[in-house]
Structure 1
Amino acid sequence: MDHRRLDTTQTYYRVTEERRCEAVDRVTEMQFDRHGRRIWRQAKELLDSEHARRAVGEVAVPYGVCTEPSNVAAGGHDCPVRFRCVGCGHFRTDISYLPDLEAYLADLLRNRERIAAALDADDWAKAEAMPSDEEIRRVRRLIKRVKDGLDDLDASQRAEVEEAVSVVRRGRQSVLLGMPRVRQPLPDLRPERPL
């Protein structure tokens, strides 16, 4: 819309429910489990009741959604595996999370190097904080499967998926999903006054 700031567009631009549902349908066709297996391979169009079921039966977690019932009931605050989602059978992700998964892999690799270089930490602390080789392999494999799924599409399908991803990510950014925002405290600029 040729605005200099995205905030200007966001004040009046809204993604309609119909467009969001179409985008979710398109992205859901490219949904994967933790092993990189396509879950909705044959899905062409989800019914309205399926959209509602999905909204009730899953909760947003980093890099995807969780379908574990107690975690869903707790709004995502009762994860039994401490957000090691790629190792959980209740984890689902889709192509719209690809940039997040790639950033997660980069963080895992960076943290592994930082922990290995830490000189002033006990061995048990390093071992506890160290990302496992299996977790890194899983994330790499998942990223590869998502990219391979995208590569299997022809140019028009790929363009449709990329547009759907854009709509879904925009919608995800505009909703807070229960994640609190923490602001830095402002400094007290007033000098101490005597009582």
Structure 2
Amino acid sequence: MTVEEGGVRVTKLLPFNRSQVFLYAYRHTYAQRHADAGVGVDVLCELMGHRFIGTTQLYYRVGEDRRREAVDRLATLHFDRHGNKIWRAAAALLDSEHVRLAVGQVAVPYGSCSEPSNVAAGGHDCPIRFRCVGCTHFATDVSYLPDLEGYLASLLRSRERIRGTFGADEWAKAEALPSDTEIARIRRLIVQIKTEVDDLSESDRALVEESVSTVRKGRSAVVGLETPRVRQPVPDVRPDRST
């Protein structure tokens, strides 16, 4: 701290609580310094003697430079709802992603949304109730592949459960049944993303996988970045009111 003595400003060191110093903290410092230096998480996992990469990731924080570098690397692996590549300038992508992370904008399920009213509501006011693959405002990238696969599995489970339901009218089943078109489109999108990744060289694929890990870790760490749950539309049964 800085104090004034005899009209002169002097910097003095505050006493440090030595109880906060412990040997295990050096492992965190070791991991953080190596991560900041660009050492891959798989290599760092080996250096630290961990069995799982997830354990290693608990020992350091992803810095802004590494996060932006990871987003930059994934810039060429963006896709629209049909699985077509979206080629966008890396600088523009970095800026938009940086702003999204800075303000804690809520992501839409398994991708991003540019629909104005939904963006204004932080991702919780989709006009078509998060049928993202049917909307021109939807885009995704390889880092959302696990989410896409999870959503597809959820749709398939729901379809089988609803088809086997007894005691429900056919119109009710039809309303609740996931669309075959949506299922087919998500399947096609997943296949397209996997094909693009498989076509990469082994070294490029390793870099992409590391970038995906970095982006997903940074995404989950942002407060308020919870993805809205996708549910089947609920009919409006409120009676009309006359004015």
TM-score by length of 1: 0.80
Pick 1 or 2: higher relative contact order, CA cutoff 8 A, min separation 6. 1
Which runs of structure 2 are paired with 1:27-176 in the superposition (5 Å)?
Answer: 27-40=74-87, 43=89, 46-47=90-91, 50-54=93-97, 60-176=107-223
Residues 8 and 155 of structure 1, relative CA distance in 2, 3 Å threshold: closer
Name the SS of the counterpart of 1:62 in structure 2. Answer: coil
Task: Give 1:128's aligned amino acid.
Answer: E
**CA distance, structure 1, for counterparts of residue 111 and residue 50 of structure 2:** 31
**Cα offsets for 1:19-78 (capped at 9, x unmatched):** 0001111122111000000002x75xx22x642334558851111111111111111121
Query: How many Å apart are 1:85 and its aligned residue?
Result: 0.6
Residues 161 and 50 of structure 1, relative CA distance in 2, 3 Å threshold: closer
Name the larger-Rg structure.
Answer: 2
Would you identify which runs of 4 or more consecutive aligned residues in structure 1 move more than 6 Å? none
Query: How many Å apart are 1:7 and its aligned residue?
Result: 7.9
**CA distance, structure 1, for counterparts of residue 141 and residue 203 of structure 2:** 19
Residues 9 and 99 of structure 1, relative CA distance in 2, 3 Å threshold: closer
TM-score by length of 2: 0.65
Q: Which runs of 5+ in 1 are unaligned?
A: 181-195
Query: How many Å apart are 1:155 and its aligned residue?
Result: 0.8
Identity %: 62
**CA distance, structure 1, for counterparts of residue 94 and residue 172 of structure 2:** 43
**Cα offsets for 1:135-158 (capped at 9, x unmatched):** 010000000110011011111111
**Cα offsets for 1:164-194 (capped at 9, x unmatched):** 00101111222243539xxxxxxxxxxxxxx
**CA distance, structure 2, for counterparts of residue 161 and residue 4 of structure 1:** 22
Q: Which runs of 5+ in 2 are unaligned?
A: 1-47, 228-243
Q: Which residue of 1 aligns with 2:238?
A: none
Q: Is the 8 A contact 2:68 2:98 kept in 1?
A: no
Residues 67 and 37 of structure 1, relative CA distance in 2, 3 Å threshold: same
